[in-house]
Structure 1
Amino acid sequence: MAYPDNLLSRGESVVLSKRPHWKMLVLPIIFFIVIVGGGFTLAAVLRNWEYHTIAWIVIGVLGLLLLIWLVVVPFLRWRTEHFVITNYHVFFRSGILHRREHQIPLGHIQNMETSVSFWGRLLGFGTLIVESAADQPLEFENVASLPKVQSVLNQLIMDDKQAHRGGPQQGGYPTGPTPAQG
């Protein structure tokens, strides 16, 4: 599901939209395999037991609860978390039942910091820490393709600063003909 366009301002467009890195799904997949495999194995072992029907019901209910808690909920968290960069803002949106959103205008970003672990370097994810003018630093963890995100964000911040300074002519770039051309 893409970031909803109806939440954007007029003239605002999505430049980059990311979900957390796929490594967030590794543990739920392992839990799924262990819970389903363990449940079927336990049910097979208990099939000759006198009370196997009751045991199967308990195994099924317990397995279902574990699947919801350890597989479905983490998957929904991953699915509903968005890190979006537009031409005006940085958005971070998360939550299944209770939604939380951070919105930082590009012009208010004062500093960016990245933190990449050993595994993050191997798998291509890291943490982006954004300091804005008004808020405490916000940490966006498990950002996939962090160098690309940082590059896009740097370019958009530079474009935003140039646009608010009156264009390139005040930034040291000539816009009209030079005296030699004139």
Structure 2
Amino acid sequence: MGLPSRMLGADEYEVLHTRTHAKALVGPALALIGIGALVGAGTAVIPTDYRPLGQVVVLVLGGALAGWACVRPFLRWRATTYSLTNRRLVMRTGVLSKVSVDLPLWRINDVSTQRSLGDRVLGCGTLVAQTAGEGSVALRDVPDVQHVQRAVSEQLFGELNAAPGPGGAR
């Protein structure tokens, strides 16, 4: 699901839509496994004098910890999206408090990528858009960041590349 149509201008259309890379979910998945193991061990070692109330307390604490360590990062990942239209680059994030950053394409001077070794293995990276006024805007953990960079560059410089050169040659 991309940008809602109410957020698009009259002749504006969405070129690309993605969310942050799923690598953000590896830590929460491992945490969920660990929390499950701890809850299982915790309920098993409760003395019989404190059962079932002690087991319920361990389950409630485990559920609260799972919500904080697993559900919260999942919702943050799910709510963070990057969209490219023919006019702007949009970053939307936030679960309860929504933040939307719109960067008009006409203000972008340069688009580059940054990829660590781990990012290269996972196929993601950081897209850095240099602007004339505010410096740079970094979109982190963009999946297939080179494809996104190419799409932004085509939107930025497509008309320049399509213009005929001297003598009508392209």
Above 0.5 in TM-score?
yes
Secondary structure, counterpart of 1:62 in structure 2: helix
Q: Which residue of 1 aligns with 2:68?
A: 69
Q: Which residue of 2 aligns with 1:156?
A: 155
Q: How many angstroms does 1:34 deviate by?
A: 1.2
Q: Which residue of 1 aligns with 2:113?
A: 114
Q: How many angstroms does 1:172 deviate by?
A: 4.8
Secondary structure, counterpart of 2:135 in structure 1: coil
**Is residue 2:6 matched to residue 1:6?**
yes
Q: How many angstroms does 1:106 deviate by?
A: 1.1
Q: Is 1:3–1:82's contact at 8 Å kept on the other side of the alignment?
A: no
String of CA shifts for 1:51-101, please: whole Å, max 9, x gaps.
122321221121111111111110011101111111111001101111111
TM-score when scaled to structure 2? 0.90
Distance 1:141 1:56, change over 3 A: same
The 5-angstrom pairing of residues 22-37 of structure 1 reads 22-37=22-37
Q: How many angstroms does 1:173 deviate by?
A: 7.3
Query: Identity across aligned pairs (percent)?
Result: 30
Residues paired across the two proteins, number: 169
Secondary structure, counterpart of 1:16 in structure 2: strand
Distance 1:113 1:2 in 2: 23
Letter in 2 for 1:91: V
Which structure has the larger Rg over C-alpha atoms? 1
Q: Which residue of 2 aligns with 1:19?
A: 19
Distance 1:52 1:109, change over 3 A: same
Letter in 1 for 2:63: L
| 5+ residue gaps, structure 2 | none
| 5+ residue gaps, structure 1 | 176-182
Distance 2:49 2:149 in 1: 62
Letter in 2 for 1:155: E
Q: Which residue of 2 aligns with 1:79?
A: 78
Say what the alpha-carbon RMSD is for the aligned residues: 2.0
Q: How many angstroms does 1:140 deviate by?
A: 0.7
Q: Which residue of 1 aligns with 2:163?
A: 168
Q: Is 1:114–1:128's contact at 8 Å kept on the other side of the alignment?
A: yes
Q: Which residue of 1 aligns with 2:38?
A: 38
Distance 1:147 1:23 in 2: 17
String of CA shifts for 1:9-38, please: whole Å, max 9, x gaps.
111111110100010111111111111222
Secondary structure, counterpart of 1:50 in structure 2: helix
Q: How many angstroms does 1:138 deviate by?
A: 1.1
Distance 1:43 1:173, change over 3 A: farther
